[in-house]
Structure 1
Amino acid sequence: MYLSLCNEVLRDLPFAEQCRVAAALGYEGLELAPFTFDPETPHELPAAKRREIRQIAGDHGLSIVGLHWLLVAPRGLSVTTSDVELRRRTVDVLHNLVELCAELGGRVLVHGSPPARRVEDAESPDAARANLVECLASVGEAARKAGVVYCIEPLAPSETALVNTVSEAVAIVKEIDNPALRTMIDTSAAGRAESEPVDKVIRDWWPSGCLAHVQVNDRNRRAAGQGEDRFGPILRALRDVGYEGALSAEPFIYEPDGPTTAAVNAGYLKGLLEILKEET
C-alpha cells in the first residue's frame, strides 16, 4: 500500500506546486479531479496538456493513480436520467474520461458524482438503477479496451439514494460481469452507510474480486487523523486481504487549509503503515 492524494485538496496551487508539496509530504501518487484542470470541458483536454500533466507528476516522482469526481463538469449530466439523449451525452463524456485516464498513465476511475446519479431523474428507482447499469456497462467496456478499471462508488444515503453499500455495488458489478467494471471502498461513505465496521466490510467483500480501490477520509469528511475514526483496523484488514494499491486521501473539508490537511493525513497514515510493517 502507498499514499496517494486527491489533487483538489491542493487545488489553489498550480499543478507543479501541488506535485512538489505532495511529494515532499511523502505521497507517491495523485488521484486527479478533472475539473481542476478545466472547469467546463475537462474531458476535452488537449493532447499537449495531457502530456504536460503526466510529465510534471513524473518529474516529482509521482504516479497518476487515476481520476475521480468525474461528472462535475460539464454541468447537467446524468447516468440515471430517462432522457435518452442526455444519457448518451453523459456516456460520451465518460468514454472520453476513460481515454484521458489511460493517457495520463492512470489505472482507475472512481464514479461517485451524486448529483449525476439522482433517482429523481428517472420515473422510478428501478428505472434509475436500470439506466445506471446501462451506462456502466458501456463505460466498463471502454475501460476494458483502454486497460483501466472503472469503479462505481458506494456513497452514503445523505449523498444519493442509489448504490449506498458495497453489497449493492457488487450486485451491479456481477450483473454486468466485466472485470474492468468494479467497485471500491471510500472509508467515510462506508462508515456512514454500512451496518458493519469498515474493516469487516473489507474482510467480507474483498475476496469477491469485485473491489479494486480505496479512498480514505474520516466520517466527518476531514482527513484521516482529523476525526474520531481509527484507521489501524482498516489498514490491517487491507493488508490481510492482500491489497497493494493506493490509499487515496479524499477529504472534503480542509482545515485549517489544504496543505495542512494533506500533511496531517500523510503523517497519520505513514505512522500506521510503519506499525503494520513491524507486525509482519
Structure 2
Amino acid sequence: MKFGICNETFQDWPLARGFEYAKNAGYAGVEIAPFTMANSAYDITPQQREETRRAAEDAGVTVIGLHWLLAKTEGFYLTTPDDEVRNRTSDYFAELARLCRDLGGTIMVLGSPQQRNLLPGVTEAEAMKYAANCLRRAMPTLEECGITLALEPLGPAEGDFLLTAEKGLELREMIDSPNCQLHLDVKAMSSESKPIPQIIRDSVPHIAHFHANDANKLGPGMGDIDFHPIFAALKEVNYDGWVSVEVFNYEPGLEALVDGSLKYMKSCLGQ
C-alpha cells in the first residue's frame, strides 16, 4: 500500500508548496482536485500542466490522479435523459483523462454526487443506463491515455444514486472496460449495512483506489471508526494501490490532519 493525500487539504496553498509538505510529512503521492487549478479542465493550459507535473517531480511525490471531477463545473450531468448533456459530459471526462495523463496521474475518482443524483421522473434503473452510456462513450480516451476510472459509491448524506459498493460493481459491469473499476471510501462505506472489511473482500479484484477518512469528515483515527480491521482486510486481499487521505473538515489544522492521519494509518499497519 502507498499513502497519498488529496491536495485540497492544503486549501489555498500553491500546488508546489502542498507537494513539498506532503513529501516531508511522509506521503508518497498527492491526488489533485481539478478545481484547485481552474474551474474547468479546458482552461488548464499545457504550460500549467507541465509546471504542475514538474513541481510534483521536483518534490519527489507522485501525482496519483484526479478526484472531485465535476466540482465547480457547469452543464454536465451523468444520469440525465438529455443526450446532448450526456455527450457533453462524456467529452469532458475525455478531457479530464488527458489532463490526468498530462499531470502524470493514472486514476480518476468519480464521485460528484451533485451531477449524478436522480432527476425527477428518472428511476434508478434508468439512471444506471444513462450513466453507463455516458461513461462508456468516454472510455476509449481513458484507455488510450492509460487512465483508470474509479467509480465512487457515496452514502445517502451525499446523494441518492450509487449508494453501495455493489451498485458500483454493477455499473462497472455495464460499462465493461478494463479501465473502469471501483473506488472505496471509508466514510461512504460506513453508511452501508455490511461491515467495511466485508465490503473490501466482496469488491476484489476491482478495487482501483481507496480513500481513508472518518464518518465525521475528519482524517482516519480522528473519529469512531477503527481502521485496524480495515487495513487488515486490505492486507488480506493483497491490495497494493493507493490509500489517500480525504477530509472535509479542516478545523483541526493542517498539521493535525496531514501528520496525524499518516501516523495513525501506519500504526494500524504496525509501522
TM-score (norm 2): 0.95
> Which one is further off, 231-240 or 255-264?
255-264
Matches of residues 188-207 of structure 1 in structure 2 within 5 Å?
Answer: 188-192=187-191, 194-206=192-204
Report sequence identity in percent: 34
- Cα distance in 2 for partners of 1:141, 1:133 equals 14
SS in 1 for 2:119: helix
Shift of 1:205: 2.0
Counterpart residue number, 1:33:
33
SS in 1 for 2:222: coil
One-letter code of the match for 2:56?
A
- Cα distance in 2 for partners of 1:253, 1:174 equals 34
Residue 24, structure 1, aligned to residue 24, structure 2: yes
The change in CA–CA distance for 1:60 and 1:113 in structure 2 (over 3 A counts) is same
SS in 2 for 1:120: coil
How many residues are treated as equivalent by the alignment? 271
- Cα distance in 1 for partners of 2:261, 2:132 equals 34
Maintained 8 Å contact 1:34/1:69: yes
Maintained 8 Å contact 2:187/2:213: yes
SS in 2 for 1:178: coil
TM-score (norm 1): 0.92
SS in 2 for 1:184: strand
- Cα distance in 2 for partners of 1:174, 1:71 equals 23
Counterpart residue number, 2:79:
80
Maintained 8 Å contact 1:121/1:128: no
Maintained 8 Å contact 1:5/1:30: yes
Shift of 1:104: 1.2
The change in CA–CA distance for 1:82 and 1:122 in structure 2 (over 3 A counts) is farther
Maintained 8 Å contact 2:41/2:99: no
CA RMSD of aligned residues (A): 1.5
One-letter code of the match for 1:218?
D
Matches of residues 46-125 of structure 1 in structure 2 within 5 Å?
Answer: 46-120=45-119, 123-125=122-124
Shift of 1:43: 3.7
- Cα distance in 1 for partners of 2:121, 2:31 equals 31
Shift of 1:137: 1.1
Matches of residues 1-280 of structure 1 in structure 2 within 5 Å?
Answer: 1-38=1-38, 40-120=39-119, 123-192=122-191, 194-206=192-204, 209-273=205-269, 275=270
One-letter code of the match for 2:73?
P
> Which one is further off, 55-64 or 251-260?
251-260
Maintained 8 Å contact 1:80/1:129: yes
- Cα distance in 1 for partners of 2:177, 2:40 equals 28
Maintained 8 Å contact 1:217/1:249: yes
Shift of 1:51: 0.7
- Cα distance in 1 for partners of 2:121, 2:50 equals 39
How big is each residue's C-alpha offset from its partner over 1:153-209, in whole Å with a ceiling of 9 and x where there is no partner?
1110221211111111111112222110111210110111x2121111111221xx2
- Cα distance in 2 for partners of 1:127, 1:163 equals 12
One-letter code of the match for 1:102?
R
Maintained 8 Å contact 2:128/2:171: no
Segments of 5+ residues of structure 1 without an aligned counterpart are none
- Cα distance in 2 for partners of 1:177, 1:199 equals 26
The change in CA–CA distance for 1:88 and 1:258 in structure 2 (over 3 A counts) is farther
How big is each residue's C-alpha offset from its partner over 1:42-96, in whole Å with a ceiling of 9 and x where there is no partner?
3431111101111101111100011000001322421111222222221111110
Runs of 4+ in structure 1 off by over 4 angstroms are none
SS in 1 for 2:209: strand
Shift of 1:122: 5.7
Segments of 5+ residues of structure 2 without an aligned counterpart are none
How big is each residue's C-alpha offset from its partner over 1:231-250, in whole Å with a ceiling of 9 and x where there is no partner?
11111111111111111111
